[in-house]
Structure 1
Amino acid sequence: MVADEFIVTRDEANAVYNNASATQEEVDGVFTRLANAMHMLEFFKGDKTTLKTFIDKVNELKADKYIETTWKN
């Protein structure tokens, strides 16, 4: 669940912040993780109309318009 990830990451960020000997790597890592968790909290619940529109768009995609590795992903 996104909210759980946010809470865990927030707590880890606080621990790194309060750690006077935290490395730059630790700071960067927890910052990125917290920013991602915050971004995920911004998503809104979908509805079937939006879902159907998205499915229709995906179904219209043509493999020959993409390189092979992109298409497989």
Structure 2
Amino acid sequence: TRNNLATWRGRAGDFAGAVAGFEELLPLHVEVLGPKHHDTLTIRNNLAYWRTKAKDETEGVSNRTET
């Protein structure tokens, strides 16, 4: 599924790819299942997780280049 593909992108280190995948999925889930459906909330949670990982990676790189 596209959820799994986005997850595996993130696990492979492609955090931005994972974020992009979940950003594509979220509006589809909201439209089809509704904003409070369990699967929609799971996509929302996964998106937040990979956004955090992507932000941490970006901040880590900028911190290394500042020193």
Alignment TM-score, normalising by the size of structure 1: 0.53
Count of residue pairs brought into register by the alignment? 48
Q: Give RMSD over aligned pairs.
A: 2.3
Counterparts of 1:17 and 1:29, CA distance in 2: 11
Extract unaligned runs of 5+ from structure 2.
Answer: 1-13
2:64 is equivalent to residue 47 of structure 1: yes
**Match status 1:7 vs 2:20:** yes
Partner of 2:31: 18
In the alignment, which residue of structure 2 is the partner of 1:60?
none
Structure ID, larger Rg: 1
Bigger fraction of residues in helix: 2
1:9-60, Cα deviation, whole Å (9 max, x unpaired): 11111110121x3572111210110110111121121539x8xxxxxxxxxx
Provide TM-score, normalisation by structure 2: 0.57
Q: Secondary structure of 1:42's partner? A: helix
User: Runs of 5+ in structure 1 lacking a partner?
Assistant: 51-73
Q: Which runs of 4+ in 1 moved over 4 A?
A: none
